[in-house]
Structure 1
């Protein structure tokens, strides 16, 4: 399955094609944006994207996103089917204690660890997305 495919892409099949956690696959492009899917479990890392918002859609499971905002730190809970946009420049840390599958929409070339981040743990893939294997 290629990101430039003119055929429908079944997200369940795309998710079944890989096992790596916190290692997004690019399923398609919309203008200058990647549509990425990822399997996640445990914690990501605190990071921020200085020049872009980050859109999350929870496909399966439950995702939490901790945010550091001017008013203080808070956490949002995203059950399956929920969407949330982290505003540009906002430090955030996604985590999924029981695991989740997510779809992320962000400009092509955006690193998964943002522009500002904590030390990258071994279980987090610092990437701009991987091609989806067919």
Structure 2
């Protein structure tokens, strides 16, 4: 048990769409990620998708609905089964929480990220 410096963890990598585990919370991975551009549309059948924007601005595209802008200090939860696509025009830094072993790519054709622990 010790404090985790999120800014320090984010400073350890520069890649996009590559979540890094910073700690465990029950049976979940707490991760930080940077993204720029767009991720493929996908869904998670068995879990909600949690996004907390630390820095920057993310756009969440939702199938059949209006896109939602999520700014620093805001969080967004995509319910399980909802087709969605996060994207960002400029680099955004995000905290994610998801069950251990859940592929970040959901049902998309994109290979899941490895999720290294830092």
Q: Provide the TM-score with structure 1 as the length reference.
A: 0.84
Q: Which consecutive unaligned segments of at least 5 residues does structure 2 have?
A: none
Choose the corresponding residue for 1:36, options 31, 47, 50. Answer: 31
Runs of 4+ in 1 over 4 A off after TM superposition: none
The total of aligned residue pairs comes to: 118
Partner of 2:115: 129
Partners of 2:104 and 2:113 within 8 A in 1: yes
Q: Provide the TM-score with structure 2 as the length reference.
A: 0.95
Structure with bigger gyration radius: 1
Greater strand content? 1
* Offset of residue 23 of structure 1: 0.1
CA RMSD of aligned residues (A): 1.1
Mapped to 1, the partners of 2:102 and 2:112 lie a distance apart of 10
Partner of 2:67: 75
Q: Which consecutive unaligned segments of at least 5 residues does structure 1 have?
A: 1-5
